[in-house]
A and B are shown apart, each in its own frame.
Chain A
Amino acid sequence: MLNEVCFRVMPKDIPSWDDASLAQNNTWTLEAYRAAGGYKVWESIIKEKTEPRSIIAKLKKSVLRGRGGAGFPTGLKWSFMSPGVPGEKYLLCNSDESEPGTCKDRFILTENPHQLLEGMLIGCYAMGAKVGYNLMRGEFWLPFQRCEAALKEAMDAGLIGDNILGSDVSIHLHNSTTLGAYICGEETALMNALEGKRPHPRFKPPFPANFGLWGRPTNINNTETIASVPVILEKGADWFVDQGTEKSGGTKIFCVSGHVNKPGNYEVPLGTPFSELLEMAGGMRNGAKLKAVIPGGSSMPVVPGDIMMKTNLDYESIMQAGSMLGSGGMIIMDESTCMVAVARRFARFYKHESCGQCTPCREGSGWVYRLLCDIEQGKASMDDIDRLGRVAKQIEGRTICVFGEAIAWPVEGFLKHYRHEFEACIQRGKEG
């Protein structure tokens, strides 16, 4: 069971995930997607005039959870879009993939764009939206080209647009772009980005399902989440649930990067032991010893290697191990890795990407970064370690969006498991 959902158009075993090698497979065309069974679900929905609520019921049964990081149940989210509200409603696909360690959506957009379009069509239909937007980060040049080409192909084939396949259903989809900022991935910032405003997160409530794009009901899902939908409807909710565990149904893409022999995207059943994933990724580079893993993108706490080797990859098990599954961006570090350097580099990222709207985040992210620089360079005192923890903790929960948590949680994780490395840096500095 590898690559059977979001990457089903791709070869089972991919030796290299770089754009140049993947381009040889030609998987992004309508022809290739059709050959993999694509658009069958959409055609049957149009033909049989499927009851929208039954689609949402199936999604609920499949236990699909948001794959962008938050893990919110997708069927439940779709059910928030009240069918009774008159006027425009929107589906917005969050393709602003920017969480360090995460690179799955870029490959869905580049290699399998039609499946995302089919998922968006189904979503629009189920929620009564006539327009859907796929908003990509500005750096996604090739993904944008491929999505635009796929959209044109699907429109020419009568799958998208007015009177789809001769029916009275009309749905329009559009690709759009930002100009590159991590905060755009926050769902309310994403809406501001699409509207052409500064992408500052909005207060919630009101929630997007009530007051979203241009004040209209809007549903926002991650790329991988939406791309999973056609396969779930084709093979059935039970099939999907059976792939995973009882609470974490289905499959999930893990982006394995860092010190492994075969870095890559591995779409595996949830509940797969981490040790198996590590084996798929060719094991540790140069036979080195595993030191630590960041299991769900940079915003999630680090987990020591020995704990990770006993952990299964599902939402509940990773939480038990003291972290979160997040986006599935899995950074593997061997024993040569300096945890202070890793923490400092993440802190630079959060300092750079803080939108500046909330004082605790804007000031705290810089403070955390400067403290970590001082510690790494041996210019800090032992008190600074506690100060670092305190400053990080004071950001958490005091901001409009969860960016504050994303600064705090990794710092807490590094201090919990690797405090001795921080102390050693300071000690080395004292000894000159």
Chain B
Amino acid sequence: MSSQTQTLFEKVWNRHVVVPESNDTPATLYIDLHLIHEVSSPQAFSLLREKNLPVRRPEKTLATLDHSTPTDPEPAARTIPIVTADVARQIQALQDNCAKFGIQLYDLDSDHRGIVHIIGPEQGLTRPGMTIVCGDSHTSTHGAFGALAFGIGTTEVAHVLATQCLLQNKPASMAINITGSLTDGVSAKDLILAIIGKIGVRGGLGHVIEYRGETIDSLSMEQRMTVCNMSIEAGARAGMIAPDQVTFDYLEGREKMPTGARWSELLKSWQDLSSDKNAAFDRQVDIDAGGMRPMITFGTNPGMVMSINDCIPEKGTDESLDKALAYMGLKHGQTLLGQKIDIVFIGSCTNARISDLREAASLLRNRKIAKGLRMLVVPGSQAIKKQAESEGLAQIFIDAGAEWRESGCSMCIAMNGDTVPRGQYVLSTSNRNFEGRQGSGARSILASPLTAAATAINGKISDPVELM
């Protein structure tokens, strides 16, 4: 076994096999970290209750409130108003379940609360070589640390709670090799949008992607998270990046990260977490990031994407494009530069980290957003909120005319009161431009925080490079 070359994914997979795959049964895979939130967990706890089962390792599960939790600015009493009675029940259910089963919850008033994929890395809970799952498809975010992290359904959430394991068939592997440096104004978000544009929304089906090459090496941890986050938008099971000094520097000293001898031990155990030199991938794709421009979506899935200065494809045989453009109120052959926008949303597990806010603020400093435009800036966690306030970023957003909110998923999923009205255009830093994702009839255009800021200033889609 050890004489064979292995990919990063195979190394992490093999270390977690409790019972190997056979002809008739999937492998039993051990899960190191399980994250839960209010939306995909209540029915999992119901399953445990129906079967009278305890949680096997409660200390390996962590709960937060993010999806249906409102982000209205915090009232004095620190009780955020809940949008509907259903949501109140859902939040109550998570509180009750965590109390009953002994699971730590970052409750509404916790300084640690935030979007589930933001808080894990932030606190040093997400670590190289781990297996991490959550009832949420963007669990792929944690792969930026060299963890094998993927989204699961609610029944599987119950499996992990009860056994700390999952039954899994081994996915195939794909290497995406990226060369060239990102030019000014082009961010990790543009890179991943371009990758999805190239391989398509089904390109990664059944695969774990490893992003590699000089471009990836040069990215910060926050940028790497943005890339891995949207692996699911390419259909992939997970996205991974081999840990390196950038990873270790990011993790050292984080709140939940051990120090001293234990830290040195961990560091040592992460050293061989990269694909062996001649490791075989089932598929390889090469990408040149050198000439890349800011990217923007024009349709109703993230694969319908182009450079900001390009034109929407001409009419062809693709009926789904025709349908998407009809929904979006856009035309074949048109450019999006200058397209009027009603709402700009900076937030989500893709782009609501401190570096995203810094980038957006760098353009908004001493500027105002366009008249009549609504802009929401929603930090990914309470910790990021606090940091942005202490760095003066929050004030820049407020002075520019934007709304500065409590942390949460907000307008990314529009089930918490933050909704785009029917027919309106939203320029969003989130990850899904599906029909109705940001509100019934909402028209979503995905882009980077820089493009979002430039667009907010001009009230129409703008190339951030021109404001830099």
Co-complex (A, B) = no
